[in-house]
Amino acid sequence: MKSNIFQKIESSTKPDFGDIFSKSFGLFQKLFMEAVKHGLVSLLVVIPFILIIYVPLMPMYIELLMNSGDPYYSPSGLEGFSAVLIIVWVIAVFLISFILQVVVLSINVHFYKVCKNIDLGIDEPTGGYFDLLKNNFGKLMVLSLATFGIALLATLLCYLPIFYVLVPLQLFLPILAFNDKLSVSEIIKAGFKLGNKYWLILFGLIILSSIIAQLGIILCGIGLVITAYFVHIVMYSFYKDSVGFDDGSELNTF
Q: What SS3 class is residue 118? A: helix
Q: Is residue 185 part of a domain?
A: yes
For residue 52, tell me if it sits in a domain.
yes
Evaluate whether residue 10 is within a structural domain: no
Residue 127 maps to a domain: yes
If one compares 152 and 83, the residue with the highest pLDDT of the two is 152
Residue pLDDT, tens place only, 113-128: 999 999 999 888 888 8
Domain enclosing residue 236, as ranges: 17-67+80-242
Query: Closest by alpha carbon to 60, among 87, 81, 78, 85?
Result: 78
**Better-predicted residue by pLDDT, 248 or 141:** 141
Q: Is residue 251 part of a domain?
A: no
- Per-residue pLDDT reduced to its tens digit, 184-235: 999 999 999 999 999 999 999 999 998 888 776 666 556 677 788 999 999 9
**Residue 108 pLDDT greater than 70, yes or no:** yes
Identify the CA nearest to 213 among candidates 16, 15, 39: 39
- pLDDT tens-digit readout, 77-98: 555 556 777 788 788 888 888 8
| pTM listed for this prediction | 0.85
**What do you get for the CA distance between the two ends of the chain, in Å?**
28
Residue 70: its pLDDT value, please?
58
Domain count, the chain: 1
Residue 252 belongs to a domain:
no
**Which run of H or E residues covers position 242?**
helix 229-242
Residue 152 lies in a domain: yes
Residue 208 lies in a domain: yes
Q: pLDDT, tens digit, for every residue of 17-56?
A: 999 999 999 999 999 999 989 988 998 888 888 888 777 7
Q: Which residue in 234, 236, 231 sits closest to 39, CA to CA? A: 231
The answer to whether 124 and 116 have CB atoms below 8 angstroms apart is yes
